[in-house]
Every structure is written in structure tokens, then in C-alpha cells.
Amino acid sequence: MSSALSAAGYTGHISFSRTMSNTSSPAPASPSTTSPPVRIPPPLVH
């Protein structure tokens, strides 16, 4: 059971990573619009 879960989690992580990279490259404007407001506070704290 542990092995199956580990394999599923690992594959899911790779799939998620690949999907994020794919979505980030072609559609950076979408995440960018929602990122600025949320990323503004951290830089200010720095």
C-alpha cells in the first residue's frame, strides 16, 4: 500500500509540476494578474 501511494504521489507531483510549467509559459498573463497583488506584500516586508 505504501509503495503504491508513494508511486501515485510521485507521478502526481511530476504531472502537477509539468502542468504548472506548461501553463506558466504560454499563459503567464493569467497568473501574473493574480500574482502582483499577492506578491506585493512580501517584497515590502523585505
Q: How much of the chain exceeds pLDDT 90, in percent? A: 0
- What would the pLDDT profile of 16-37 be if each residue is shown by its tens digit? 555 555 554 455 555 555 554 5
Q: What is the pTM of this model?
A: 0.19
Confidence of residue 13 (pLDDT cuts 50, 70, 90): low
Sign of CA dihedral 13, 17, 37, 29: negative
> DSSP states of the chain as a string?
-HHHHHHHHHHHHHHHHHHHHHHHTT--HHHHHHHHHHHSHHHHH-
Angstrom distance (rounded) from CA 25 to CA 33:
14
* Rounded CA separation 2/13 (Å): 16
Domain count, the chain: 1
pLDDT of residue 46: 53
Residue 21, pLDDT score: 55
Q: Which domain holds residue 11?
A: 2-45
